[in-house]
Structure formats: structure tokens, C-alpha cells
Chains A and B, each alone.
Chain A
């Protein structure tokens, strides 16, 4: 099976930078995804990393190190609308399933 660990909560002020770490244990590995979920809403896709390195999409970046079984999501220039839960999810085999972490609640303060 798969297990993923990420911090449960992070609080930061507007304009700050937040890094959400995700470590995983899987029997196989094909990729790591990140999803954002606002309170009461549906998860929305942010990024997918299959190879080592940093992927940047606007204010959000995602990093993967397969040798360390580790990835992170970097949120820059934090805005109030970034207050949400963020989930990492691993694709651990060459099928069609994702396993999700328990999520990190990010609270942005003025």
C-alpha cells in the first residue's frame, strides 16, 4: 500500500511564502500530484510531477525528489484566497489510482 505524510496546518501572513512538504512510502512510484480544496468545495488540480525537479505555474511551484520519496508545494506571494486545504496524492503503480494524503490546511492572515 501507500502512505503519505504532510503537515496538518500552516498559518502565514499575506505576501509570505509557504512550503508544504509531502513524504511518501509506496511500493512503486509514477508521480506526485497536488490538489487545492476550499472549504465546502471540490478538490481542484494544481500540479503533477513525474520527474525530479521544480515545476512552476504562476505563484505555485511543485518539487519532487524521487530518491528521497519527497515533494513539496510552494505557495508564493500568499493571498487571502489561498486559504484552503492542500492535498498531495501519489500515483504508486501503473494503473489509474491515486492515494491522497490527509491534507494541509493553510490559513492566510491579513
Chain B
């Protein structure tokens, strides 16, 4: 069991470039999440997917889009990256006891 996997681990973008962060889980969980974490701060929810075929905005959705490709995969897209999107991005899935399992994170720098 790999748990939650994310790619890439690191990425540097120039302002205006686009990219997609990939996330997959092998625990057969229905709910998946994308968070960002800025230095010294907690996790802020960007988007989540309660089940395959549904997505909803979280606390900070502006500048992002998501796709729940199937039950395993949930991707996050930055259409036109901005320096304010420099952050660490975590994907997570949720088990039946409301525990969330996190991927290793993607460290994104936008210059």
C-alpha cells in the first residue's frame, strides 16, 4: 500500500505558466482534498471532492481548478501561476473515522 502519492515533489514555475499537480490514493477512500501550507501556518483547504464525480470549493479556491478523474485520482491545476501561489501543496484522502491521510507534498515556487 503506497497510501497517498503526489507528483511532482518539487516544481519551479515562472509567473503565468500553468501546471497540474497529480494525486492518487490506493485506500479506496471516497473523499479527497487539496490543501496549501505557507510557512508558519496551518493547512488551508483549496478544493475537496466528497466522492467521485463531485468537487467543491474550500477556503482558498481562487486561481485553482480540480478534477476528480476517478475514485483514485484527484488533480489540482494552476492555470496561470502567480508568486502568491508559492507554497507547499498537500493532497489527502479521508478514512471512515474522519482521519485524513496526507501525501508527501509538492513544494512549488513561482518566480
Contacts and interface: CB of A to CB of B under 8 A. Distances in A.
Contacts, number: 50
A103 B90 contact: no
B43 A87 contact: yes
Contacts of A35: 100
Contacts of A102: 40-42
Contacts of A31: 98
B97 to A, nearest CB: 6
B94 to A, nearest CB: 6
Interface residues of A, number: 21
A60 B94 CA distance: 22
A45 B43 CA distance: 14
A45 to B, nearest CB: 4
Interface string B75-88: 00000000000000
A97 B58 contact: yes
B107 to A, nearest CB: 9
Contacts of A42: 90, 102-105
A41 B102 CA distance: 10
Contacts of B45: 97-99
Given A45-B101, A99-B45, 11 more contacts: A33-B99, A43-B102, A45-B99, A87-B42, A89-B43, A91-B98, A98-B100, A99-B59, A100-B44, A102-B40, A103-B40
6 contacts: A42-B104, A45-B100, A45-B101, A48-B97, A96-B94, A97-B45
